[in-house]
């Protein structure tokens, strides 16, 4: 599309994978690099905002790197979906330990406005598998909190060969369980369309997406 692009990732392994494909991806955080002021036309953040310890300081940093009227594109988990209220604090959004902050349309708009950005548009996205991945995550958190793990002590007593076989079976079963929401979501895609359409129109989808423009301090 005519852009010169640079990626930044905190995973050294993924940055190296991208570099091998000829994609310019740097390892670290954006604050580690001394980009000139007004260097970027656009900065994109894909499921990053919820992991930041100091989001306000981060916005100040990226704002300096943007040109006047430069674009900020954000995707972050939405705190307002129906499943969040259904599963409460055992929802995967809340049980994931590196999710530090949660955003609604209002909180995201407020922080952007306060940090020198004008929100151009904001919308939400609900994928067919979201409802089912939320349930699997909730079930995992529920079982963990109730210490439903009776098989672990039994496995420790088995011989090394049998233990390895059982662990392999558990790994396969775990993989099937974690992939099942995507299969179910695909199968029920036509049926779930009305629900997805409603939650997206009311900005209650699992993903919150914002496009904002840098404005002058005045």
Q: What is the pLDDT of residue 91?
A: 75
In a domain, 17, yes or no: no
Containing domain of residue 154, as a range? 35-214
In a domain, 22, yes or no: no
- The continuous run of DSSP H or E covering 67 comes out as strand 66-77
Instruction: Kindly report the CATH number assigned to the domain that includes residue 51.
Output: 3.40.50
Instruction: Count how many domains the chain has.
Output: 1
The total of other beta-carbon atoms located within 10 Å of residue 75's CB is 16
In a domain, 125, yes or no: yes
Model pTM greater than 0.85? no
In tens, the pLDDT along 9-32 reads: 999 999 999 999 999 999 998 888
In tens, the pLDDT along 26-76 reads: 999 888 888 889 999 999 999 999 999 999 999 999 999 999 999 999 999
Q: Which residue's entry shows tokens 């979906």?
A: 81
In a domain, 124, yes or no: yes
In a domain, 26, yes or no: no
In a domain, 59, yes or no: yes
Q: On the CB side of 129, how many CA atoms lie within 13 Å of its CA?
A: 12
- Assign 84 to helix, strand or coil: helix
In a domain, 87, yes or no: yes
In a domain, 12, yes or no: no
């Amino acid at each position: 599309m005519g852009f010169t692009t640079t990626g930044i990732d905190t995973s050294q392994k993924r940055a190296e994978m991208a570099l091998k494909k000829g994609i310019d991806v740097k390892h670290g955080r954006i604050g580690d690099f001394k980009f000139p002021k007004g260097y970027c036309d656009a900065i994109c953040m894909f499921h990053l905002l919820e992991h930041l310890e100091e989001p306000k300081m981060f916005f100040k940093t990226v704002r300096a790197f943007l040109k006047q009227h430069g674009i900020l594109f954000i995707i972050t988990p939405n705190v307002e979906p129906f499943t969040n209220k259904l599963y409460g604090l055992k929802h995967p959004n809340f049980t994931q330990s590196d999710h530090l902050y949660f955003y609604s349309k209002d909180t995201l708009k407020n922080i952007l406005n306060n940090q020198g950005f004008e929100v151009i548009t904001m919308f939400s996205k609900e994928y067919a598998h979201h409802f089912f991945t939320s349930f699997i995550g909730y079930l995992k958190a529920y079982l963990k909190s109730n210490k439903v793990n009776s098989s672990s002590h039994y496995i420790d007593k088995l011989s090394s060969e049998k233990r390895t076989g059982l662990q392999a079976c558990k790994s396969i079963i775990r993989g099937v369980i974690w992939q099942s929401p995507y299969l179910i979501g695909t199968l029920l895609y036509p049926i779930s369309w009305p629900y997805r359409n409603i939650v997206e129109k009311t900005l209650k989808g699992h993903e919150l997406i914002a496009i904002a423009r840098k404005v002058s301090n005045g």
